[in-house]
């Protein structure tokens, strides 16, 4: 799927929704490693961006996005609109990240 046909909006300029295929999602559950937690704890002493957690969060969001796109492709979609993210702590140190949206078949106007 062309990532240019994915958006948080409910339409894409130059395209019309020919078919709505329903909600798609990608879920990733991650935990911090003991080494990452120690490294991040050391970074908090200095202050500023905690790059270890930033990298973990970015990778987790990307992985959930890619799973959502795969789910949409399996349904025959060529686009996903209305994309949102949600995150919940499942237990201490374990977080679920959910990417979801509406799978659609888009046609050029």
What is the DSSP track for the chain? --GGGB-SSS--TTEEEEEEEEEEEEEEEEE--HHHHHHHHHHHHH-S--HHHHHHHHHHHHHHHHHHHHHHHHTT-SEEEEEEEEEEEEETTEEEEEEEEEEEEEEE-
Domain boundaries, the chain: 3-108
Per-residue pLDDT reduced to its tens digit, 60-104: 999 999 999 999 999 999 999 999 999 998 888 788 999 999 999
Answer whether residue 33 shows pLDDT above 80. no
What pLDDT score does 84 carry? 98
3-108, which class in CATH? alpha beta
């Amino acid at each position: 799927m062309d990532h240019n046909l994915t958006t948080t909006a409910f339409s894409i300029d130059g395209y019309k929704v020919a078919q709505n295929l329903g909600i798609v999602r990608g879920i990733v559950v991650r935990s911090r490693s003991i080494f990452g937690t120690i490294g991040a704890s050391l970074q908090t002493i200095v202050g500023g961006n905690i790059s270890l957690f930033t990298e973990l969060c970015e990778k987790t969001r990307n992985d959930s996005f890619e799973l959502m796109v795969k789910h949409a492709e399996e349904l025959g979609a060529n686009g996903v609109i209305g994309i949102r993210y949600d995150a919940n702590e499942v237990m201490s140190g374990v977080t679920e990240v959910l990417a979801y949206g509406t799978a659609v078949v888009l046609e050029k106007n």
